[in-house]
Amino acid sequence: MKVLDANLKTKIISHIKDNGPINLSSFMEMCLHDKQFGYYSNSNVIGKNGDFITAPEVSQVFGELIAANIIDNQNQIIPLIAETGGINTMIVDSSALLEQVTDDVVRSAFDSAGQRCSALRVLCVQEEIYDDLKDMIIGNMQIQTVGDPNFFDTDIGPIINDKAYKKLTSYISLCSEKGYKIHQPNQKVSDIHIAPTLIEINSISNITEEQFGPILHILKYSSN
């Protein structure tokens, strides 16, 4: 979240300098004239540059509580640009056009090497079309070009840094150890790239956190 109000940003930065990272509750008290926000999470802090990082669970109550408190306590709305991350999901039933779904899935999951909050992370597919759609996605993954984004024919660029690269590759290895089927194209990539990866999971609960890279999970569901 970018804090656009100059006075509020100054107040937040001053608090961080004096007291360290600021939690969500304190931030919202500053935003809403020190009124209790009603939601608290130790996992949410504002970094030293004034950017607010929110966990997915916060977004469930964020909008309603901000709106209610602003109506009660503000003469004017404090301008904010908010972005919440999470495990974005697409649900596909048997009425879908599989060619269109394949194109949308590959673009959403693997463009920008999956390093966007809006990237697709989980694909839930009705069992009647599961195998056909999975095969089409795997086929499309085979023709994705991994490499230098300075070239127009590159589809998937590098991972942002070594720490992120190691986290993603460790996750893929862990999924393999757990027995999940993992699909990657048969192409050699450098140690700063990760090929588009499809992981077959059994339940949405198999995913415990977002993987910020070109990794897509696919899950079969029953039409019943």
Give the residue numbers marked as catalytic: 83, 117
**Which residue reads 């306590």 in tokens?**
73
Beta bridge partners of 198: 183, 216
**φ, ψ for residue 69 (rounded to 5)?**
-70, -35
- Which residue is associated with the tokens 């007291």? 19
Place of tokens 């079309």: 129
Pairing mode, if any, of strands 215-221 and 197-201?
A: parallel
Cross-strand pairs, 217: 122, 199
Kind and range of the H or E run holding 126:
strand 120-126
CA distance 92 to 95: 8
Instruction: Report the C-alpha gap between 82 and 52 in whole angstroms.
Output: 9
Residues 83, 207 contacting (CB under 8 angstroms):
no
